[in-house]
Every structure is written in C-alpha cells, then in structure tokens.
C-alpha cells in the first residue's frame, strides 16, 4: 500500500510521439513536481519535522515549569528522563508501565471487536434489502458525530444515579445488586472500551463496505452454481478478497486506538482512573499537571519508538505473507 506504483510507469511506450513527450516531461519539467510539493513540504516541515526534533531534544532536558518561557535555557539531563521513565520499581516508571499494559489490553480488545463487528455488518449489508440505505446511514452515525458530543452523551449514560446504563442494568433487568460506578474504579475500563468500539467500528464498516464493492458478483454466482453455501461463499470469496483492505484497516485502527486521547479525555477529564489510564492521557498528565515537560517528552519518544517497532514488524510480516501467497 505504501509503495503504490504509479499507473503508466510500467506501461511500455506506444509509438514515438508519446515517448518523446514522456522524455520531455522527465527532463524539461524536472522542477515542476518539486514546486507542486513545496507547500506540502513546508507544512510538513513546520508542523511535523520541527516539533518532532524539538520534542526529541526536549526529552534530554530538565525541562520544568521554570523554563517554559525559554526552553533552550533548561539544563541538559542526558538520559535521566528515560531512566526515570524506565525505572519500573520507582513510582514514575511503575505508573508508566501500568499505563502501557492498560493501553495494550484496551487496544487489542477495541481493534479486535471493532474489526469483527465491522466485517459482520458489512457482509450482512452486502446484499440489497429494504431499508439497507437507512441502516447503512445509521451505522455511519458514530463516525460522523463529533467525538466530544458523542462521548459526552456516553458519559451521561454512564452516570451512576442519573444514567441510562444503570437504570437498565439495575432497575429494569436486576442484573446488578447495586448501582455500580462506571466512570471511576475498575469498571471504567469497560466503559471506555464500549465507547471506543462504538466509535471505531463504523470506520471498519465503511472501509470494508467499500472493499466489498470490488468483488465481482460473478464469483458468487459461480460458487453457488458449484454448490457452495453462504458460509462457504463468505469463507472462500469474501474474506480472502478483503485481505488487502484488512491489512491496512487493522494497522490504521491500531494506531488510532493506541494514540487515542479524545475518548478518555472527554469521558474522564484530565486524569483518568487507574484502570483506564491510557498512555496519551498519562503523558498529558505527566506534562501539564506536574509541568515536567522533559519527562513527558521522554515518554512520548518511548511511545513513538514502540509504535515504529510494531508497525515495522507488522508491515514486514504481512508483506512476507503476501509474498508467500503469490
């Protein structure tokens, strides 16, 4: 996916005139592509590269609230910030490690469930039936709603005394002996997971629905003629055809979920409960509440290294599998 070959790049020149034109394109207008790229390059430099380099430099500084006006004056601290972050027996490192595991568990569950629901829903709405358009629109609503508006509604539903969830669980279904707290304590993990899945599965649905449209109907017809049942059609035709879409989708969902800040922030506020202390919130809190920016930057760099590693391994593994399949 990353290395998308440009169409026509491989196409053999047909006749002399187009070949000459191509030559001219290649040499005569050599500067044009760079001019077209210039705004994008400048923007990327300004908002990605410079802050990233700054962030990495900050991680090696003793950057506390006294140096916010001029961060370059902050004294160097070598690898101190990293050592503190990785000292898993001391409070800071222990909390970071805890937050890391919580984020891992949360991400695996959220991505897994979102993908599963997305696949199911897209397959079940593949054939036309009455009301399908309306249902599809409804399924996309969580994706369309602004995060803060949707999550704040969930937080209302999760309120202990006034919320819909406890009313249904306790008052109507009598499933719980008491009204549990959902936004503090251990339950907060499940509340966060519910909201996250609700919010992300529609993206999986959208992408997979788009992917399903590329499968020619003749494939199913041929399979049905050969006596394949519905489940076999799904297993033999639908799922294999979705593989390239799935590879990208899972990676994107993973990165979004692992880095998610908006959901816990709107649901819990500036400091999340222990059980739902996602890494983004944790770093935010370490930086803006204790005002230790150097420490926060070191944690961000560690997070980035981890994400790079996972992505590299993932891309390598999936590329190799694709290579084997061919």
Partner 1 sequence: MINPPASFRWLRRVVLLVLAVFTLTPVAVMLSSSLKPLRDVQGPWRWIPSELTFRPYVDIWKTVPLAKYFTNSLIVAGSATALSVLIALLAGYAVSRYRFRGKKVFTITVLSTQMFPGILFLLPLFLIFVNIGNSTGIALYGSRSGLILTYLTFSLPFSIWMLAGYLDSIPRDLDEAAAVDGCGPIRTLVQIIVPAALPGIIAVAVYAFMTAWGEVLFASVMTNDQTRTLAVGLQGYATQTDVYWNQVMAASLVVSLPVVAGFLLLQRYLVAGLTAGAVK
The interface with partner 1 within residues 250-309 (CB under 8 A) comprises 252, 255, 258-259, 261-262, 265-266, 279-280, 283-284, 287-288, 293, 296-297, 300-301, 303-304, 307-308
Binding mask 160-199 for partner 1 (x = CB under 8 A): -xxxx-xx---x--------------------------x-
How far apart are the C-alpha atoms of 242 and 207, rounded to whole Å? Answer: 10
Binding mask 106-145 for partner 1 (x = CB under 8 A): -----------x--xx-xxxxx-------x-xxxxxxxxx
Part of the chain binding partner 1 (CB under 8 A), chosen from 32-40, 84-92, 108-116, 185-193: 32-40
**What tokens does 234 get?**
């799904």
Part of the chain binding partner 1 (CB under 8 A), chosen from 31-39, 75-83, 85-93, 105-113: 31-39
Q: Which of residues 78-107 bind partner 1 (CB under 8 A)?
A: none
Beta bridge partners of 61: 76
In three-state secondary structure terms, 177 is coil
How far apart are the C-alpha atoms of 108 and 254, rounded to whole Å? Answer: 8
Closest CA to 77 of 287, 291, 286, 297: 297
How far apart are the C-alpha atoms of 284 and 184, rounded to whole Å? Answer: 19
Q: How many residues sit close enough to partner 1 to count as binding (CB under 8 A)?
A: 116
Residues 298, 81 contacting (CB under 8 angstroms): yes
> Contact with partner 1 (CB under 8 A): which of 233, 271, 274, 319?
233
The helix (run of H) or strand (run of E) holding residue 27 is helix 16-27
Q: Does 21 bind partner 1 (CB under 8 A)?
A: yes
How far apart are the C-alpha atoms of 240 and 195, rounded to whole Å? Answer: 30
Part of the chain binding partner 1 (CB under 8 A), chosen from 77-85, 147-155, 184-192, 318-326: 147-155
């Amino acid at each position: 996916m990353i290395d998308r070959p440009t169409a026509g790049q491989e196409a053999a020149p047909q006749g002399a005139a187009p070949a000459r034109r191509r030559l001219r394109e290649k040499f005569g207008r050599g500067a044009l592509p760079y001019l077209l790229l210039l705004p994008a390059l400048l923007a990327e430099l300004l908002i990605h590269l410079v802050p990233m380099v700054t962030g990495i430099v900050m991680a090696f500084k003793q950057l506390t609230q006294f140096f916010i006006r001029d961060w370059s004056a902050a004294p160097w601290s070598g690898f101190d910030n990293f050592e503190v972050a990785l000292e898993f027996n001391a409070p800071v490192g222990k909390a970071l490690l805890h937050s890391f595991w919580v984020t891992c568990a949360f991400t695996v569950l959220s991505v897994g469930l979102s993908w599963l629901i997305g696949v199911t829903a897209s397959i079940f709405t593949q054939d036309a039936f009455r009301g399908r358009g309306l249902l599809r629109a409804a399924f996309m609503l969580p994706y369309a709603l602004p995060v803060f508006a949707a999550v704040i509604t969930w937080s209302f539903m999760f309120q202990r005394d006034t919320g819909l969830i406890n009313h249904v669980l306790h008052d109507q279904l009598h499933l719980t002996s008491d009204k549990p707290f959902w936004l503090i304590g251990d339950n907060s993990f499940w509340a966060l997971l519910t909201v996250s899945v609700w919010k992300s599965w529609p993206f999986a649905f959208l992408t997979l629905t788009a992917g399903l449209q590329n499968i020619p109907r003749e494939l199913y017809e041929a399979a049905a003629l050969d006596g394949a049942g519905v489940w076999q059609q799904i297993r033999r035709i639908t799922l294999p055809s979705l593989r390239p879409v799935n590879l990208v989708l899972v990676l994107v969902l993973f990165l979004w979920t692992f880095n998610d800040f908006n959901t816990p922030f709107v649901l819990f506020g500036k400091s999340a409960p222990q059980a739902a202390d996602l890494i983004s919130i944790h770093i935010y809190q370490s930086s803006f509440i204790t005002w230790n920016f150097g420490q926060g930057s070191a944690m961000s760099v560690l997070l980035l290294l981890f994400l790079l590693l996972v992505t590299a391994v993932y891309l390598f593994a999936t590329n190799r599998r694709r290579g084997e399949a061919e």
